[in-house]
Structure 1
């Protein structure tokens, strides 16, 4: 079975020397899952175990472990190949909607032009004998002129402004107008556990429930706030242990998150888990207006074309392109209706969704404000939790065993270190 990609990314970000607590914090994973995955990765990638005198274990990985795994696992090579292929396929899918829109407008416009030109020609033939100087005239707007790169200086300036506002090209903007740009909170659960683990780490592995509550949802639903049942998933995930103060208050400490392979700088932590609001589109306002305008043009053109093709005789008489468009007319009409209907439905759905997100953000923010000015009982809990707080950074001097070198060599080196230490003590004693 191929290694867990999340574990591999966490090891790389942490500098290839990690503890279970480091990986669990970085990836927001269950401690037990992180432990098993690290063991499997070390076995497959030629990693090494380093054991400290406290019994804690550090995992050391070679910096080329991905190449080692790639040569070992066909599945991993296949995943990397498919990731590259899918990126190309997905890009083609994205631009296909804009391509189909321009093709649809072109087909509808050309077909209408052919039908009306043919009708005017017939009318001119009937009237030629009575009025030799007359002639039908039909003005057909050149819609392709609007797509020309050289039309009107004002619109060229607007296009330059659009490019400055958005990194999307026209075809990508059409897809963004239709379907948006994905869920901004797709990794919300991962972010939640990463931030909870970071809060625990920043408090040296010991916290109270009120410090974790701003990162959880539905505390009042399914769990009771009074008895802090909402902490059970956190304890399970990070192998935490509760402790009760003499006053009957509960605090929580997490031994695995108190051990690290390297001392890291403190980073600022968000006071609560903030969900990001959904955006209608990453396209600029100009690109959205252009997409909507072309969609409206396409839909109105389809309705006009439908009225011209209603009885089917025109397509039978003219044949060729007109007959072909007659055959796919309902596809063109459905695309035109969907091009306008899907963004409209999405707009109202996003408004409803963002209201829910705003309510949850306000609820989490209100819980975080309790920590800004804690009352006496809460401050007493926080102070008691600090009795269990500790931070252990395992350096090379703390190691008693490493699978990098032969066990006999390590014993000799360890004995030499002990002898040297005793010699220094004896010298200090004789000097006194």
Structure 2
């Protein structure tokens, strides 16, 4: 079967579940921060494909009702959803392998470089005809310096839940929001490349916050209430063009007061399937600063030391190769890889550190700008207060209850028409004879 599910299906399904399976377009759009038109199309598709029901109120508003197992129905019906879930599980394993591979390569090159140096040294001594028996005891295969590398339990390197020097293999975060500790091999990847963009969800947070602000104020707002969530300047704030993307996304319309003040009205976000408490929203959209690494200080120290060790070994090998005679291609390859990998290994974090400093300065500047814009609303000047008072005239919330329905796909059409006709007849009689019981 060809999938007709929208690209926003995963977000829509999660939002529907969070809203207890009975939703309006406004409920989902404001909660997920999605465009109203896309939300409406997506809900219609999900309801059609999962066997959901539609409830129509006498005001014309539509409520979408989904069964608690609608995700299971869709997953069984659409191969794409099943493949997405399988791929997420596979990717988690693959990404973990990628993360630890850099540490494995680092340690492997260090060991290979040490072995290559020993091989070159032995070859040089053999070429001079010297007796090397007395030197074997100093190599330290069973103990001493090289023996240190043969740890009795090397599996701590691969532990998903513990870090270097810790035996708590299944340590869980002690506080909500605490970052799980990386194991040693993961810390190498974190030291090299960091742990991802902390603001990857910035746009989602932006529109979810704006949608919640509109719902909290019952569908009528002023520009100053959402400007701290947009990347705009004070000049744009003055002519209120900053709110144009919000109007387009949530089908809003401007309303002008007799004094020429402009407020913004969002009728489709004023209908809801059930009454909800106001959702807390911060005063402004705050970007999170980039973190260099989630690895511990000890892990970073060891990562740097190992990088320096590899670089030194690479330089030593290059020097020994310059004075050696015929050497196997494997040792030449190890020497080149050790030198190149050591340089790149130390250069990437160094360059990334300075790049992050610049990024964090820009983030701090944007956060300060949004905070200053939010402060304008906190001061509540007479002009802003007039606009807020005017916006209240358009504020409304329509809760679509069972008794407000004139049609639902949960029942056959004929009984609903008879029931509606009876209700209309009773209303007409009541209007003609209001004194009748």
> Does 1:23 find its partner at 2:35?
no
**Quick one: which of 312, 319, 343 aligns to 1:307?**
319
> Does 1:196 find its partner at 2:210?
yes
> What does 1:328-347 correspond to in 2, within 5 Å?
328-347=334-353
TM-score (norm 1): 0.87
| Corresponding residue number in structure 1 for 2:284 | 272
| Corresponding residue number in structure 1 for 2:64 | 59
* 1:170-216 Cα shifts (integer Å, max 9, x gaps): 11111111111111111111111110111111111111011111101
> Does 1:237 find its partner at 2:249?
yes
Distance (Å, rounded) in 2 between the aligned partners of 1:368 and 1:126: 80
Go from structure 1 to structure 2 and tell me whether the alpha carbon gap of 1:168 and 1:157 turns closer, same or farther (over 3 Å shift): closer
TM superposition shift of 1:86: 1.6
| Corresponding residue number in structure 1 for 2:159 | none
**Quick one: which of 219, 232, 241 aligns to 1:205?**
219
Distance (Å, rounded) in 2 between the aligned partners of 1:336 and 1:94: 18
| Corresponding residue number in structure 2 for 1:319 | none
| Corresponding residue number in structure 2 for 1:372 | 378
Unaligned stretches of 5+ residues in structure 2: 155-161, 172-178
Distance (Å, rounded) in 2 between the aligned partners of 1:291 and 1:425: 84
> What does 1:391-430 correspond to in 2, within 5 Å?
391-414=397-420
| Corresponding residue number in structure 2 for 1:350 | 356
**Quick one: which of 68, 78, 87 aligns to 1:82?**
87
Contact 2:227 2:237 in 1 (8 A): no
> Does 1:44 find its partner at 2:58?
no
**Quick one: which of 247, 262, 278 aligns to 2:259?**
247
More helix by share: 1
Between the two proteins, the alignment pairs up a number of residues equal to 414
| Corresponding residue number in structure 1 for 2:77 | 72
Distance (Å, rounded) in 1 between the aligned partners of 2:249 and 2:215: 14
TM superposition shift of 1:336: 1.2
Contact 1:2 1:76 in 2 (8 A): no
* 1:294-317 Cα shifts (integer Å, max 9, x gaps): 11111111111111122552525x
Unaligned stretches of 5+ residues in structure 1: 129-133, 317-322
| Corresponding residue number in structure 2 for 1:320 | none
